[in-house]
Structure 1
Amino acid sequence: MPLLLLQSLFPLVFIMLLGWSSGKLRYTRREDATVLATVVIRFALPFHLFISALNTNPDKIKNISFMTVLIIGLMGSYFLALIFSRYVFRHDIKTCAIQSLVCAFPDMAYFGAPVLAVLIGPEGFLGVLVGNLITSVVMIPLTIILIRMGDRNSQVGDIHPARLILENLFLAVRNPIVWIPITGVLLSLAGVTIPHILITPIEMVGKIAGGLSLFALGLLFYGERPSFNLQTFTNVSIKNLIQPAIMAAAGLYFGLSHTLMQQVVIIGATPSAIAAGMFALRSETYIESASSSILIGTAIGIVTEGIMIYLIS
């Protein structure tokens, strides 16, 4: 068990330390993290999700009960965080969107996948793939809409809410991190095969998403100390504890098999995705709290992930 968690965590810590050291040695500037975040959000992560969707068996995508449990767990914690952010912390809508993403977007690809691979085997990647589809098609577009609504509200005083939602939905769909993964889902369902000559460069770009995100986050941490306050405590609690509890309850209700139940609980207990911090950087909103929550949540995630593995094994 300790070796399993060490194997999962060490690559994250190593690359983040590399980014931090780069800032410390003045090889890069802290401001460069914003540029790296743009590359991740606009290119690397969308292509990574596209390849994941394209390689997913269409029959597995159509597992309604499994997908429903993941939607309930992921979006349930998202809306819970949205309520806390809006009515408890009194944030504006743009900040609420980023905080909700930090609380609900698990690091499935770079933290959860290695654990599931060792615990379950190749079948464990199903949860990662389906979960990434849900975040790509539902969570990320919703976050982009809320961010754009926040930007628009700060510029325009009186505009009809329905028109505002439709305008921002159109803008969100045009975002590469939304339409590229959705295209992968549609191609997978249609059984379309992409030529290998095109797949190779897409995979090359997609593979840098995890490493580049971690490097940028480490660079962002340079010169700052993560702050543990009420907001950080709330974010980590929702992500590391409440989300897996929602997943487990939904899984029991829908009668998932033991293997599928293991997947949803492990995914729920996975710390916040580095990509959530990239969104904060890109939007220049909630940066300090987001980075602190991700760093502290990742450290605590060793314990919470271990507890969940013990309980479901």
Structure 2
Amino acid sequence: MPILLLSSLFPLVFVMALGWLSGKLSYMKRDDATVLATVVIRFALPLSLFLGALHTDPAKIQNLSFMAVLVIGLMGSYLLTLCIARFVFRHDIKTSAIQSLICAFPDMAYFGAPVLAVLIGPEGFLGVLIGNLITSVLMIPLTIVLIRMGDNNNGSAEQGSLRGMILQNLLKAVRNPIVWIPILGVVMSLAGIKLPELLSSSVEMMGKTAGGISLFALGLLFFGESPTLNVHTFTNISLKNVIQPAIMAAAGLAFGLSHTLMQQVVIIGATPSAIAAGMFAVRSDTYVESASSSILLGTAVGIVTEGVIIFMLS
């Protein structure tokens, strides 16, 4: 188990350390993290999610019980955090959306996938792929809508009806590459459409950069700052590393998932916050310090929680 966790975590720490070192040696400025975040959100991550959706077996995408559990676990923790952010911390809607994303978006691709691959085998990637589809189709579009609503509330003199505002922002969100590109991948997968090899390899080249650029940008963002453990980071880490896997486990029992599928959903729930969630905070210039601290400390805590859950499930 220590070797498994080390092999999963060392690449994350190494690339973040490179980002921090680039700031320390003045190779890059801390503000450059915003540019890198834009590359991730607009190009690399959408193409990475597109390929994941495109290469998923359509029959597996249609496993409704498994998908329902992941929807409940992912979106349930998102909505729970949204309520806590709005009514406990009294955040505005934009900040609440970022905090919800931090607490509900697991780092499935770069933390969860290696663990599942060793523990379960190739079948373990099913939860990662479907989980990414759910975040692409539901969680990220909802976050973008809420962020845009927050921007409108702060900067627009005239407001239409609530329904019109939501519809307007939903249409803007759908046009965002990180929303429509992964959805296109789902549609193509269900339709049995394959990309030509030349185009597929080109898309894959860009998609593979998502994890590295995200980690590097986060490391650069950490330069000059020390992660702080306060009520915000403690709440975020508790919601992400403890409450979300508990919701996954309860939903899995309710839907009668098999032991293998139960392992997948609980381990995904216990996976620390995705680096991409931090990129949304950077891109929006909102909740940045709490987001980065929650991701860094949550990843460290995730070693313990993931190990305990693997031991319990085994």
TM-score range, shorter chain: over 0.9
| Residue number in structure 1 paired with 2:80 | 80
| Residue number in structure 2 paired with 1:180 | 181
| Residue number in structure 1 paired with 2:221 | 220
Aligned-partner residue type, residue 182 of structure 1? I
| Residues 11-30 of structure 1: per-residue CA shift (max 9 Å, x gap) | 00000001000100111110
2:152 corresponds to 1:149: no
| Residue number in structure 2 paired with 1:281 | 282
Aligned-partner residue type, residue 124 of structure 2? G
Matches of 2:218 and 2:156, distance apart in 1: 33
Q: CA deviation at 1:60?
A: 0.1
Matches of 2:118 and 2:194, distance apart in 1: 29
| Residue number in structure 1 paired with 2:37 | 37
| Residue number in structure 2 paired with 1:165 | 166
Matches of 2:149 and 2:245, distance apart in 1: 30
2:11 corresponds to 1:11: yes
| Residue number in structure 1 paired with 2:234 | 233
User: Where in structure 2 are the equivalents of 1:232-311 lying within 5 Å?
Assistant: 232-311=233-312
| Residue number in structure 2 paired with 1:203 | 204
Matches of 1:22 and 1:61, distance apart in 2: 41
Matches of 1:104 and 1:202, distance apart in 2: 27
Q: CA deviation at 1:33?
A: 0.4
Does the residue aligned with 1:91 lie in a helix, a strand or coil? Answer: coil
| Residue number in structure 2 paired with 1:124 | 124
Matches of 1:227 and 1:82, distance apart in 2: 22
Does the residue aligned with 1:308 lie in a helix, a strand or coil? Answer: helix
Q: CA deviation at 1:113?
A: 0.3
Q: CA deviation at 1:193?
A: 1.2
Specify every segment of 5 or more residues in structure 1 that has no aligned partner in the other structure, as ranges. none
| Residues 93-150 of structure 1: per-residue CA shift (max 9 Å, x gap) | 0000000000000000000000000000000000000000000000000000000000
Matches of 2:2 and 2:197, distance apart in 1: 39
Aligned-partner residue type, residue 109 of structure 2? A
Does the residue aligned with 2:155 lie in a helix, a strand or coil? Answer: coil
The count of aligned residue pairs is 313
Give the superposed CA RMSD: 0.6
Specify every segment of 5 or more residues in structure 2 that has no aligned partner in the other structure, as ranges. none
| Residue number in structure 1 paired with 2:63 | 63
Matches of 2:203 and 2:9, distance apart in 1: 26
Q: CA deviation at 1:156?
A: 2.7
Matches of 2:123 and 2:293, distance apart in 1: 33
Quick one: percent identity of the two aligned structures?
74
Matches of 1:28 and 1:19, distance apart in 2: 9
Matches of 1:88 and 1:299, distance apart in 2: 26
| Residue number in structure 2 paired with 1:48 | 48
Matches of 1:219 and 1:155, distance apart in 2: 30
| Residues 210-241 of structure 1: per-residue CA shift (max 9 Å, x gap) | 01100000000000011100011000000000
